[in-house]
Amino acid sequence: MAGIFYFSPALLWAAQMLLAGCHAAARFETLQCEGPASTQEGMCRPEDDFMDPKEVNFQVKGFTFSEPFHLIVSYDWLILQSPAKPIFEGDPLVLRCQAWQNWPLTQVTFYRDGSALGPPGPNKEVSITMAQKADSGHYHCSAVFRSPGPGGPETASPVALTVQELFRAPVLRVTPSAEPQEGKPVTLSCQTKLPLQRSAARLLFSFYKDGRTVRSRGPSSEFQIPAASEAHSGSYWCEAATEDNQVWKQSPKLEIRVQGPSSSAAPTILTPAPQKPDAPETTSTKPPGPLPPLPTPSSKDADSFSPPQGPDPHLYHQMGVLLKQIQDMRVLLGHLVMELRGLSSHLKLETAKGPAKHE
C-alpha cells in the first residue's frame, strides 16, 4: 500500500546535515526525452544512455529529440532560480529568489559577485531586459522569512551565470583585393556567424565609407561595386545587427585604394629617338678651330688665383686647387735642394780634413 509522507523543513535540514558527503542532499541528473515522431509515446532516460544527440535538428532514425536540460534538486530554505537554457546577448534575464514551499519573504536582496544589485525589498524577482556579457557572474539572494520559517535571514547558494556572445564582431573582406584596378568589379563581404542554438535568427548588414552610409541595413552580407573608380577609394567598415536592433557590432575599418591605369603599367624607360639622316643640322658646318689655351697663373699670383667664370665653375675650382698644390711642391723641392747642397758641402769638408790628419 502506497502512502504519501510529509516532512517538516527542520527534519529535512537535519537529514541533509547527516547525509552531507554522501551527495544525497542534491543530485544532478541530465534527462533526455525521446519518442517516435509520429506518435504520442515517449520516455525519459539518463543522458548516459543516449548515444549521439548531436544530429541535425535532433532527428535520428525516425525519432525526434528535445534539447537536454539539467535538473537540480535542492533542499535549502532558499534557492536562486535561473534560466535553464543558455543565455545570449540581448536575451531577457529573470532571476527568482524562491523560498521553501513558497513561504512569504521580506527584505529580499540580490547579489552579483558579492555586490548587492539594489536595496532590500519585497520583490522576489529581478529582471534584466537585455542581457550583456558584462552581466555574467555568480548570483545569489538573501531574505528573511516572515512566518513560518527559520525565523532569521537566509542566503541561497550562488549560481554561476554566463551570458554568451550572440555573434562575433564582423570582419570586412574585399574581393579581389584592397587595391583593385580601376574599372574592375569589387565585392565587400561582412562576415560573422550565429551560434547553432540561434541559427533561426536573422542578421541585417549595412556598409559605410568615410562616415557615410553606402548601403542601408539589409539581409545580404555583401555589397557590390560593379566598376571601381578612384572615387570609391576610402575607409570602409560594416555593421551586423539583429532585427530588433538590440545587439549590433561593427567591423574594423578597411582601407581600399583603387589603382588607376597609370599605376598598373610597368615603368617606361625613356630612350632618345633616332635622328633622321635628312634632318637639317642646326649647328655650324665649319670645322671647329683650336681651343684657346687655359690661362696659367704665375708663381707670384698663385695664392690669389681666381678661376674665370665659365660654364663649369667646379672644374675651374679643382684646377685652382691643383695649381696651388703644384706651387707647394715646388717650395718643398726648393728646400730639399738646399738641404742636399748643404750636406754635399759638409761631406767635401770632411773629406778634405781626413788626409791632413794622416800627415
| Distance set, CA 249 to CA 67, 92, 319 (Å) | 29, 19, 75
Contact criterion met (CB below 8 Å) for 135 and 128: yes
**326 vs 321: CA distance, rounded Å:** 9
* φ, ψ for residue 158, nearest 5 deg: -70, 150
How many other CB atoms are there within 10 angstroms of residue 279's CB atom?
A: 7
Contact 166, 242 (CB under 8 A): yes
Within 10 angstroms of residue 114's Cβ, the number of other Cβ atoms is 9
Residue 62, pLDDT score? 60
Give residue for cell 610597368: 266
Note the pLDDT of residue 336.
Answer: 85
What is the per-residue pLDDT for 262?
62
Q: Note the maximum CA span of the chain.
A: 169
The predicted pLDDT at position 321 comes to 81
Residues 98/79, Cβ–Cβ less than 8 Å: yes
CB 27 within 8 A of CB 118: no
Q: What is the pLDDT of residue 64?
A: 64
**CA 164/CA 136 separation, integer angstroms:** 9
Which residue matches cell numbers 565585392? 187
Q: What is the pLDDT of residue 109?
A: 94
Q: What gap in Å lies between CA 294 and CA 311, rounded to an integer?
A: 14
Determine contact, residues 153/142, Cβ cutoff 8 Å.
Answer: yes
| Sites in the chain below the pLDDT cut of 70 | 1-72, 149-151, 262-314, 353-359
Going by C-beta distance under 8 Å and a sequence separation of 6 or more, which residues neighbour residue 210? 234, 235
Residue with cell 635622328: 275
**Which pLDDT belongs to residue 335?**
82
The β-bridge relationship of strands 125-128 and 93-99 is antiparallel
Amino acid 323: pLDDT: 84
- The pLDDT of residue 231: 93
CA atoms within a 13 Å half-sphere pointing along the CA-CB vector of 221? 17
Per-residue pLDDT at 301: 47
C-alpha cell at 182: 580601376
